[in-house]
Amino acid sequence: MRFWLGASFVPTDQYLELAKAAERLGFDTLTLSDHLFYADFASPYPYSKSGRPRWDASTHWPDPWVTIAAMAAVTTTLRFSPNVYIAPARDLFTVAKQVSTAAVLSGERVTFGVGVGWCKEEFVATGQDFHTRGRRLDTMIPALRSLWTGARVELDGLPALSISPTPEGPVPVYVGGDSDAALRRAARLGDGWLGNRIYTEEQLEPVLGRLPKDRPFEVVAPLAMLPEAGAYRRMAARGVTATMAAPWWLATPEEKARHGEGTLELKLATMERFAEEVIAKM
């Protein structure tokens, strides 16, 4: 079982220190989320009962690839992934060049966590069709894999072309989402699956049954359980290869009083405790 640090909703000026601490404490991958802007969205947010986002206009959404490149510059082994990057809200070559460059600059420490997205307004703003986003992602993933090899690629309506720089090896592609379409896409096109919800063991069981068992395949699942090594070992035995945690979400009242809610100091302290009580015991 590997541990990913879920660092969404974090002030931008905290990311570099979080990355250095995550590497020191034994986290495998640091993730951050992707949104282009905040508005009074008409699109329903799928991960809250109200359909409204859990954040407001003051919440930071730094560009994932710029932030990953900055964090890679102050670390040496920590991996990075968006959770998830809304690739079909962009054109193919913008995505290909961003990911490829980040992979090269980080020394092959990038995972491409990708999903179709829920926010129609972002697609309208970037001139991409919202209703065909799933079909376009299905064709985008193989095209990206080809472009990241550096080989000349023939795409509809264009001369044979290539991009540079490109990484020495493949960029792992993990597909996010728990809809039927997302699970099928992960099984068909992905090297792994990224869960977007926080799952109980009972909720996760039918998902695990739909993911590949006949080839190497990563399963990254945020789990609705108190951090405890025995529970994580049990989930690893059922096929979960990594889980995601933001230890400051479980800060005690004493920790909040000592360090201040939302501060970098609180995040670092709770990460230290998580590393001692869970990571070190795995």
Tell me the per-residue pLDDT of 229-261, one tens digit each, with 9 for 90 and over.
888 899 999 999 999 999 999 999 999 999 999
d(CA 260, CA 224) in angstroms, rounded, equals 25
Q: How confident is the model at residue 173 (pLDDT cuts 50, 70, 90)?
A: very high
d(CA 221, CA 219) in angstroms, rounded, equals 6
Cα 248 to chain centroid distance, Å, stands at: 18
Q: What residues does 199 pair with on adjacent strands?
A: 223
Tell me the per-residue pLDDT of 55-71, one tens digit each, with 9 for 90 and over.
999 999 999 999 999 99
Tell me the per-residue pLDDT of 111-164, one tens digit each, with 9 for 90 and over.
999 999 999 999 999 999 999 999 999 999 999 999 999 999 999 889 999 999
d(CA 120, CA 126) in angstroms, rounded, equals 10
Nearest in space to 122 (alpha carbons), one of 192, 42, 242: 42
Question: What tokens appear for 238 in the block?
Answer: 């059922």
d(CA 130, CA 109) in angstroms, rounded, equals 30
Nearest-5° Cα angle at 24, 245 to 197: 10
pLDDT for 111 equals: 98
pLDDT for 18 equals: 98
**Position with higher pLDDT, 239 vs 227:** 239
Residue 263 reports pLDDT greater than 90: yes
Determine contact, residues 105/98, Cβ cutoff 8 Å: no
d(CA 245, CA 85) in angstroms, rounded, equals 19
Tell me the per-residue pLDDT of 6-52, one tens digit each, with 9 for 90 and over.
999 999 999 999 999 999 999 999 999 999 999 999 999 988 888 88
d(CA 278, CA 13) in angstroms, rounded, equals 27
d(CA 13, CA 114) in angstroms, rounded, equals 24
d(CA 227, CA 249) in angstroms, rounded, equals 12
Using a cut of 0.85, tell me whether the model's pTM lies above it: yes
Q: How confident is the model at residue 227 (pLDDT cuts 50, 70, 90)?
A: confident
Nearest in space to 220 (alpha carbons), one of 252, 265, 253, 190: 190
pLDDT for 181 equals: 96
Handedness of CA 226, 224, 61, 256 (dihedral sign): negative
What mean pLDDT, rounded, does the chain reach?
Answer: 95
Nearest-5° Cα angle at 112, 74 to 229: 75
d(CA 28, CA 19) in angstroms, rounded, equals 10
Give the CA-trace dihedral at 174, 176, 179, 183, to 10 degrees.
Answer: 10
Q: What domains, with CATH codes, occur in the chain? A: 2-281 (3.20.20.30)
Q: What residues does 59 pair with on adjacent strands?
A: none
Q: How confident is the model at residue 282 (pLDDT cuts 50, 70, 90)?
A: confident
Tell me the per-residue pLDDT of 175-221, one tens digit each, with 9 for 90 and over.
999 999 999 999 999 999 999 888 998 999 999 999 999 999 999 99
Question: What tokens appear for 280 in the block?
Answer: 């070190």
Question: What tokens appear for 91 in the block?
Answer: 């054109």
Question: What tokens appear for 104 in the block?
Answer: 């090269």
d(CA 138, CA 119) in angstroms, rounded, equals 19
